[in-house]
Amino acid sequence: MAFPFKGVDFIGFDALLSEEERLTRDTARQFIEDNLIPIIEECNREGRFPRELVPQMGQLGFFGANLHGYGCAGMSNVEYGLVMQEFERGDSGVRSFVSVQSALVMYPIYTFGSDEQKDYWLPLLARGEKLGCFGLTEPDFGSNPGGMRTRARKVGDEYILNGEKMWITSGTISDVAVIWAKVDDEDGRVRGFLVETDRPGFSAYDVHGKWSLRASVTSGLSLQDVHVPVSNLLPGTDGLKSALMCLNQARYGIGWGAIGAAMSCYDTALQYAQVRKQFRDQPIASHQLVQEKLTWMITEITKAQLLSLQVGRLKDAGKAEHQHISMAKRNNVWMALECARLARDILGGNGITDDYPIMRHMMNLESVKTYEGTHDIHTLIIGQSITGIPAY
């Protein structure tokens, strides 16, 4: 049996939040409790994305939440982070869907798009009436996106795109794809393109056999002589740095999201330990080794909360650097995965069943540790920042 979530706040963290930030967090929390928690284990079991929740997500302003105008909610970055926390407390795959729609589709249109592109796409994406995906990773290039083979060739008033993309969230359910390609007549400079998924030559297929992010759609994309008008080029994109700016937005949300998964695992393990009895009819929470595990979890969650809040405050002040976001993503995902493993240990055999969310979070977090920059890549990003020497 699953336990009702009681919240996780050891040092009065909520007192550091404004009333509006707490209200935003609580709105997202109630949405997850009422709509996602009751169905997520079934979705995970069936490998099904709960698309029926998309309209309400749009109505509540969860898509592009920290963007302004175009029907977006205009939240602060801290508020947006708290929303991501609650979504990942529900499920990493569903949070991934919201992150992609927001940080990897709406953000590049908002930041690099023309007025016409923004006016058309952003309101539709904000309402969830159109869905998008982000095509950067390729079958042979993940951590090294600069090695991409996807090409764009300009012919008259069109670009012709050819290439393959892989591990693309929402690929087969998207109406538009943000595709990154090297432009032949610009000496291979990387540019972003909006590619409607119903264009001839564009195809998408689902990745099957996943043991992780099963409630999220993961796809491969193929572009075979796909013609798009010049007006579909994102005019503000200028090299790979533009794509990496988008990834930085997504990584920020992941840093917060991982805290939610850790909260779910900790809260479940704590409540379980208080009612599960072993040895002299005592709850296992009375045993030293169990208390040590719970203490480690709540300490690391608390540290992660403070780290993400500070990065969020810096981001709202326009002072967050990419290495700050890398630290939050790297630390918090590692922490959450360790919390999942410790929680599974406390639950014993029950921890591997989907009567509890532990194993689902653990499997999901294995992917979260890898995507949007692996744990090791973020280590090197931070290492370069503190030494001034790139090690990759």
DSSP track, 153-190: EEETTEEEEEEEEEEEETGGG-SEEEEEEEEGGGTTEE
Looking at 41, 86, 138, 372, which residue is catalytic? 372
255, 103 in Cβ contact below 8 A?
no
Closest by CA to 270, choosing from 286, 282, 257, is: 286
Closest by CA to 340, choosing from 276, 282, 259, is: 259
Q: Is 372 one of the annotated active-site residues of the chain?
A: yes
E strand residue ranges, 51-145: 132-135
Mean pLDDT rounded to a whole number for the chain: 97
- Distance between CA atoms of 361 and 11, rounded to whole angstroms? 25
* Helices 240-275, 322-347: crossing angle, 10 deg rounding: 30
Closest by CA to 329, choosing from 346, 304, 363, is: 304
Q: Mean pLDDT, to the nearest integer, of 377-388?
A: 96
pTM confidence score: 0.96
- Residues 186-245 pLDDT 10s: 999 999 999 999 999 999 999 999 999 999 999 999 999 999 999 999 999 999 999 999
Tokens of 335: 């922490």
Q: Mean pLDDT, to the nearest integer, of 234-257?
A: 97
The answer on pLDDT for 259 being more than 90 is yes
pLDDT category at 110 given cuts 50, 70, 90 is very high
Domains present along the chain, CATH in parentheses: 13-126 (1.10.540.10), 133-239 (2.40.110.10), 241-387 (1.20.140.10)
- Distance between CA atoms of 34 and 5, rounded to whole angstroms? 12
pLDDT category at 3 given cuts 50, 70, 90 is confident
